[in-house]
Amino acid sequence: MPSAKPLAGKAFLIFAGPEYEDLELWYPKLRLEEAGADVTLAGLKAGDNYAGKHGYPCQCEAGINDVESTDFDGVVCPGGWMPDKLRREESVKRLLREFDRDGKCIAAICHGGWMPISAGIYKGVKVTGSPGIKDDLVNAGAVWHDASVIVDRHFVSSRRPDDLPDFMQGILEVMT
């Protein structure tokens, strides 16, 4: 018997780029699709191919400059080294500010928190993330907690790949 699709009719954007953390991109993508959401991988250009830190490939379906926040209900910022590159793109920061303005789900795991930091949207937000960016989060005005997942309004954050089950539960909590 088919299971319920709690995210049917919802759409998610997932940022992708060189040296993304493989599990932090693919686990949310597959779980969101399993829950019925449409998922779009977006990198610098549509059709770009990237290898994750552990070599798993992905191909971007859209270019970041070509997507609009109004087409999505949420965004996932995976970790790895990719966020340090994408956080410099004005289009990434604009999209994240628009997601925040509209109260849409913004989910960041591990080093993915670098992107909301650079967008300037974490001030006063309870978060977690990789211990390696704890100082960055605190200096951006976020309220740090060491936990597997933190949900604060429309923000979801986690620390590392081991937290992915809790991370996805947090996203589902925000979305349903």
Q: Which of 54, 111, 145, 154 is catalytic?
A: 111
Is residue 95 classed as helix, strand or coil in its secondary structure? helix
What distance separates the 2 farthest-apart alpha carbons in the chain? 49
**Is 111 noted as a catalytic residue in this protein?**
yes
Backbone angles phi, psi at 151, to 5 degrees: -115, 120
d(CA 140, CA 144) in angstroms, rounded, equals 10
Q: Which of 69, 113, 54, 64 is nearest to 92 (CA)?
A: 64
Supply the residues annotated as catalytic: 111
